[in-house]
Structure 1
Amino acid sequence: MKNILLFFVCLLTFPAHAALTDYKVATWNLQGSSTRSENKWNVNVRQLISGAGAVDILMVQEAGRPPASAVDTGRIINSPGIPVRELTWNLGSNSRPQQVFIYFSQLDVFAGRVNLAIVSHRRADEVIVLPPPSTASRPIMGIRIGSDAFFTIHALANRGVDAPAVVNSVFEFFRNSPRPDMQATNWMIAGDFNRNPDNLRMAIETPVRNNTVVLAPSDPTQRSGGILDYAVVGNAIAFIPPVLRAGLLFGERATQISSDHYPVGIFLPPP
């Protein structure tokens, strides 16, 4: 009875207008490096987040370093032991600014390659950093905007053995939150899972599997031929599968010159 009451409280408190379908989201493994990534940000990333087909939120893996023109806001982010910065990046001019926010986690201090980033047109209400689910894993970084949260992840290269644990960590974070608004949050994990989506579906624990759906394109997301880049969406207490699909951003296929991964979009299907 307690769980039923909590379910209805959440439905009454948080209106249905807040949904993952309100956002155009993409994920891309930039295959960055400390020097070459600057041009990738200024050309390829800019192309994804500006113009007529711009996405609202872009998850970036192997992010290299943020563009030199990005400015640190000085926002204090509670992420013990895991450095995360909030920066603003002006895609326009001084007279006609077009500002986006970059949330950047510098995990690779020396090579500057396997860092994580999220680019958002809206400032995050909250930055969420979860510890690595295993000793070899990378941290999980996300942002919350209203009642929706978005996480960028990069699973381990050895067939993404930690990917199910990543999904479970995000699920448990929201389910075990003492705040009803956080429990009712819709969330999306997008990134390089380094394993086949069907394989991940079967590996996710049953309680979590019942409250999530994997959204993956049907075409390979890497030049090697594998489908490694996609999204998992869920809600810990009131999951309704969103009407979303995943697909390669074919208009951005020029990015294959600078990375062995293709950008993947998660979006509403055409009417």
Structure 2
Amino acid sequence: MTVVASAAIAVLPTAPAQAAPLRSTPLITYNMLGASNGQDSKWNVTVGNYIQAAEIVTVQEAGPTPPGDYQGSVAVQGLPRVGRAWFIQHHRWRYRRGSYEVYFLQTDRNGGNYAGGRNNVAVVTHRVPDEVSAVPSPVSDGRAALGVRFGDDWYFTFHARPTGRQNPTNESDVMLARIAAFVNQVPGRSWTVGADFNNEPRRFALPPGAHLYNTGLPTQDNGRELDYVVASANIPDHRVERLPGSTADHYAVAVGGMRAGGEPSPLFTSPREIENMQSGGTLEALAGGVVNGMPAITNRRNEGFGQRWDIEANGTDTVRIRLPKARCLMGLLDRKDHGKPVMFDCGLTGLERWRLLSFGNEQYQIRSIPLGLCLDVGTSTNPRDVWDLELNPCKAKAGQHWYLAPPADPDSKVNFDPDDLGIAHPGAFGLENVHTGRMLAGEPRGLGGMRVRAYSHRTQPTPNQEKWFPEWVGDQRLRMRDAATGLCIEADANLPSDSFIGVDLRACNNSRTQTWRVEPAGENTFRLRNEQTFIGSTACLDLDQLILDSGSDIVNTSQCEGTPRTSQYWFFAPFDASAGPDETGE
């Protein structure tokens, strides 16, 4: 990442960007309650849907890294010269059929190192703006505002500090005044701020001539209205709407007339595998949903057509869950407060409408809009279950936690920057195999030793066996330390093990045999290449799927060279059904 000093980013498109007055520019502001990284499905499920409907989306709690391909970064004077706080990142995000510009600013102090964390801000636009800049906060622990300019019209995102006894009004009034002063340096320009002000409207002073655009409805689950828009333009009766959020924490707010939704199309470039966090089972249409009325079940991940799901949307807050170019998942009520998921032709009824509500940490509740019930595995802890998948009253329980996993597709496009992995994944993680859907786990092997296995699900035998801590060595290499034992994964061809080049847990020692290079392999997926050379070649983390299903697979290594094997593909995944490292916002 190359950073060039400047007072602001001067973006030079081939032609000046057209003006974008608020009256004719649909805007959505949204606190997305963090994201695990720029490839977090929240960007696709929520922000992607919003940018289909609006011209500009201002995002708070945008997570540690932005989505898309890195385009460049330029420094901004006045920002903290620490970590990543002093420059704005520009990424180009290819989403569905379009390409969008993402401008991202590190505002999370994150212990003082200003790298990663959830409390960062972003602006997503359809076009490259004429200029991008940031307005620093005068408060020691305040956050800067990030803005983009189209012609004479500036749009900012901002996330104020929370209010409390020691901070009853926070710095929203001061920051709005500073934004207005920054914009007014050039006569005739307008400004609009879409923000989580962490304070109710009219509880702080607005700059002279500024106008408020709010719904009068709560925008956070605590009953407070914290999310709205303040602008220099006065537009009487301008439309303002609270939108259903994908999280239980914040609602998005839309200002102006939104674009109408078109024909539903997939949110992701590749189909998803929809996995349950309690049982480890993958959602499957029995017999590929070959006829109407075929039930949906859960099964061990097998890379079959019946487990590949397109999550389709048309710019609304609902989705269709569909086998690619085939039938849709829908719910049928069979008794009071209970239903069964079945496959049926898409578009014939309204029963195919679902809403994905985020629990955080890449986990969703899948709620049937017509029935008001949620997809649930009951008490099942078996990945293969043809009976227990049902629709029940919606609750925050592990059986209703679902994960949208990347596909076992060796041709899928890489969608992350390996240099950002240490920023995006600094803490505890799970590691899932693309081929089998099983989680990397430490396991006693007798004689006081430890071996590494892969288990089907995250709640048995113990969650800790599937929890690992990364020790990053530079940007793209890491050692993996078992949370339960404190031991590290080591490739060892000499000690007794489960394969020629085995994998064991040994005391961490900073050796090459315990160091693994993360090599991008596909969408959210990667190979782990051991740094040690064995007999003239290098080894990648792999597994042997047992012929007789014992509930686990043997983890070993195989040669990295040659035709790629999907069993060498892994991805970071939640290791249990908790809400993740950040359960509440600020």
TM normalised by structure 1 equals 0.76
Query: Which residue of structure 1 aligns with residue 252 of structure 2?
Result: 263
Q: Using the TM superposition, give the Cα deviation of residue 83 of structure 1 relative to its aligned residue in structure 2, in angstroms.
A: 2.1
Asked if the contact 2:38/2:64 (under 8 Å) is kept, the reply is no
Deviation of the 1:65 alpha carbon:
3.3
Q: 1:48 to 1:223 in 2, by over 3 A?
A: same
Change beyond 3 A, Cα 1:100–1:152: same
- For 1:18 and 1:102, the matched residues in 2 are separated by 17
> What CA distance in whole angstroms lies between the structure 2 residues aligned with 1:122 and 1:77?
21
Q: Is the 8 A contact 1:102 1:117 kept in 2?
A: yes
Partner of 1:190: 194
Structure whose residues are more often helix by fraction: 1
1:32 paired with 2:34, answer: yes
After alignment, is 164-173 or 110-119 more displaced?
A: 110-119
* Cα 1:85–1:231 shift into 2, 3 Å: same
2:239 matched to which residue of 1? 245
- Once the two structures are superposed, the pairs formed by residues 85-100 of structure 1 within 5 Å of their partners are 85-92=89-96, 97-100=97-100
Measured in 1, the distance between the counterparts of 2:39 and 2:32 equals 8
3-state SS, counterpart of residue 224 of structure 2: coil
Alignment match, 1:121: 126
The match for 2:265 is none
Shift of 1:43: 1.3
Q: What secondary structure, in the 3-state scheme, does the structure 2 residue paired with 1:76 have?
A: strand
Q: Which amino acid aligns with 1:264?
A: V
The structural deviation recorded for 1:67 is 5.0
**SS class of match (1:167):** helix
The root-mean-square deviation of aligned C-alpha atoms, in Å, is 2.2
State the 1:161 CA deviation.
1.2
Aligned match of 1:169: 178
Query: Are the aligned partners of 1:44 and 1:255 in contact in 2 as well (CA < 8 Å)?
Result: yes
- 1:263 partner amino acid: A
Query: 1:212 offset after TM fit, Å?
Result: 0.5
Quote the residue 2:490 is aligned against: none
Query: How much does 1:246 deviate?
Result: 2.2
Question: Within 5 A, what are the aligned runs for 1:108-257?
Answer: 108=108, 109-158=114-163, 159-175=168-184, 177=185, 182-200=186-204, 203-204=205-206, 208-209=207-208, 211-234=209-232, 241-243=234-236, 244-249=238-243, 253-257=244-248
**Shift in Å, 1:33:** 4.0
Q: Which amino acid aligns with 1:225?
A: G
For the structure 1 residues 36 and 66, does the alpha-carbon distance in structure 2 shift closer, same or farther, using more than 3 Å as the test?
A: closer
Q: Residue in 1 aligned with 2:24?
A: 22
Q: Secondary structure at the match of 1:169?
A: helix
Higher relative contact order (CA 8 A, sep 6+): 1
Distance 1:110 1:34, change over 3 A: farther
Deviation by residue 1:71-115 (Cα, 9 ceiling, x = unmatched): 1112535455422111100113xxxx4110000012234552000
CA deviation after TM superposition for structure 1 residue 148, in Å = 0.8
Is contact 2:35-2:42 (8 Å) kept?
A: no
User: Mind listing any 5+ residue stretches in structure 1 that lack a counterpart?
Assistant: 1-16, 235-239
Give the % identical residues. 30
Distance (Å, rounded) in 1 between the aligned partners of 2:103 and 2:87:
10
Cα deviations across residues 156-201 of structure 1 (Å, max 9, x unaligned)?
11255100001100111123x2xxxx3211110111011110212x
Deviation for aligned residue 1:254: 5.0
Look up the match of 1:7: none
**What's the secondary structure of 2:202's corresponding residue?**
helix
In structure 1, what residue type is equivalent to 2:72? G
Q: Please tell me whether the aligned partners of residues 127 and 142 of structure 1 are also in contact (alpha carbons under 8 angstroms).
A: yes
Find the aligned partners of 2:170 and 2:134 in 1 and give their Cα distance: 20
CA distance in 2, matches of 1:34, 1:218: 31
**For the residues of structure 2 that align with 1:241 and 1:191, how far apart are their CA atoms?**
18
Contact 1:38/1:66 (CA < 8 Å) preserved in 2?
A: no
Q: Matched residues in 1 for 2:66 and 2:230: separation? A: 28
| Alignment-derived partner of residue 64 in structure 1 | 63
Return the TM-score normalized by structure 2: 0.36
Q: Note if 1:101 corresponds to 2:96.
A: no
Deviations 1:33-57 (A, max 9, x none): 435971211211111112xxx1110
Q: Which consecutive aligned stretches of 4+ in structure 1 deviate over 6 angstroms post-superposition?
A: none
**Structure 1's 99 and 138: CA in aligned 2 closer, same or farther, altered over 3 A?**
same
Tell me, what secondary structure is at the counterpart of 1:199?
coil
Q: 1:254 to 1:222 in 2, by over 3 A?
A: closer
Instruction: Provide the secondary structure at the position in 1 that maps to 2:218.
Output: coil
| Higher strand proportion (structure 1 or 2) | 2
For 1:37 and 1:114, locate their aligned partners in 2 and report how far apart those are by CA, in whole Å: 16
Query: CA–CA distance in 2 between the matches of 1:117 and 1:143?
Result: 10
Alpha-carbon distance change, 138 to 75 in structure 1, aligned in 2, over 3 angstroms = closer
Instruction: For 1:265, give the aligned amino acid.
Output: A
The answer to whether the 8 Å contact 1:26/1:265 transfers is: yes
- Between stretches 105-114 and 139-148, larger displacement belongs to 105-114
Q: Could you say if the C-alpha distance between residues 115 and 67 of structure 1 is closer, same or farther in structure 2, counting changes exceeding 3 Å?
A: closer
